[in-house]
Amino acid sequence: MGFLGGVFKKKDLEIGSPCSGVCVSIKDVSDPTFSEEILGKGIAVRPEDGKFYAPVNGTINTLFPTKHAIGITSTEGVEVLIHVGLDTVNLKGEHFTTHTEAGATVSKGDLLLEADLDAIAAAGYDTITPLLICNSGNYADVVPSVEGKVSQGDCILRIKI
């Protein structure tokens, strides 16, 4: 905690990229559930490979049976949703391999799941991966910190306390 102008200010929380790829605005996602921030504020990544890692330290609170999405509650209480692709729930788990389970404690950088991006795209699905803060309303703001090329783990969102 720093002291600034007589007011204590907590450090922003940083959310890492779950994969390597290209970050784009959540507004550029073609699904309005994400682009209109219905589930929370966030950012999206066009993944360059099919490996997805924990963007924070925390606990897996949701691992969808279809393996296309994972919810993590960070140690600070931030609710992060990683949603691999659009409408990929319809694949019913095909082309996805999980490396974790609901209730597991994870560290930033732990491998959570793998997806065969080529097979998913060949099946007609967009592989863009929204990363949302589902409890955005609990924070002063959720701000994208980068656009363009990122590596897994790079800070892509800042949570203003």
Handedness of CA 52, 127, 137, 27 (dihedral sign): positive
Cα atoms in the 13 Å half-sphere on the side-chain side of 108: 16
| Residues annotated catalytic, as ranges | 83
